[in-house]
Copies of this chain bind each other. A is one copy, B any other.
Amino acid sequence: MKTRFVLIHTSHAGNVGATARAMKTMGFGDLVLVAPRWPNVLRREETIQRASGALDVLENARIVATLDEALDGVSHLCATAMTPRDFGPPTVAPRAHFESLLKSELMTHSQQALEAKNTLNIASNETPLAEPVAQAGVAFLFGSERFGMANEDVYRCHVALSIPTNPQFSSLNLAAAVQLIAYEWRQALGGFPVHSSTPPAQQADAQQVAGMLAHWEQALAAIGFLDTDAPKKLMPRLNQMFNRAQPTQEEIHILRGVAKAMLQTAAQAKH
């Protein structure tokens, strides 16, 4: 879905750069600045430094004078703000809202497909009025660092997103808020995969663990730690620990090497 980030009256160049970086880490690239404090903010040194390589986001960013000019092609507007005291859009948490937004989006699409099909079978001379439109796109609106969003801008939005924060300290940095919203929205859209650069290890089976433990039992007796006449629960306890450790085949190999060295050393000590 088309996704746009709109920064309104942003003061700090660093926040614009950090916003570009935060967006790009989550795979978004459509940034619009409404009347930023610095008209040349996209080219300022601090902006470029904090963008840390997300220069394409800055290059493609637009600067506009009014919020109106920032809203072409997006239909669902999310304020990130406290709602005004008198009235305003519903206050919602990002995770829950994104989930329900994408569900209703899905439903609207299937309904539209059905309606389009039905329309073909109806002979009608009436002018078609607007059908319920699918979300053409979503915009996330962020107010200025100092004053947040103006009430008149919040009134235009479909929801007010509230990031759940410490009730005693809710002061999120602007770029941190962008990072969290971008992350939650990307997760809702399906997320990026997580890769390990480590080759998968093969877990030892229970028989291999039992073989290793038998080897250790011999070795621990040889070095005088295990009293075979009064073994107590030593071996079952080690068994429990190694069960939790879920050793790999390679680790079983290491542990057997340790047992072997204990046995050899004990044999030498006898001479």
Seen from chain A, the residues whose Cβ lies within 8 Å of a Cβ on chain B are 18, 21-22, 24-27, 50, 52-54, 82-88, 90-93, 95, 126, 129, 132, 160, 162-167, 169-173, 175-176, 179-180, 183, 186-187, 191-199, 201, 232-233, 237, 240, 244
Q: What B residues does A85 contact at CB under 8 A?
A: 197-198
A167 x B192 contact (CB < 8 A): yes
Minimum C-beta distance from A110 to chain B (A): 16
Q: What B residues does A22 contact at CB under 8 A?
A: 173, 176
**Alpha-carbon gap, A160 to B195, bound state (A):** 11
Q: What B residues does A199 contact at CB under 8 A?
A: 87
A197 x B237 contact (CB < 8 A): no
A187 x B95 contact (CB < 8 A): yes
A164 x B176 contact (CB < 8 A): no
Identify A25's interface contact among B172, B197, B198, CB under 8 A.
B172
Identify A27's interface contact among B83, B86, B166, CB under 8 A.
B166
Identify A53's interface contact among B83, B171, B201, B244, CB under 8 A.
B171
**Alpha-carbon gap, A179 to B179, bound state (A):** 8
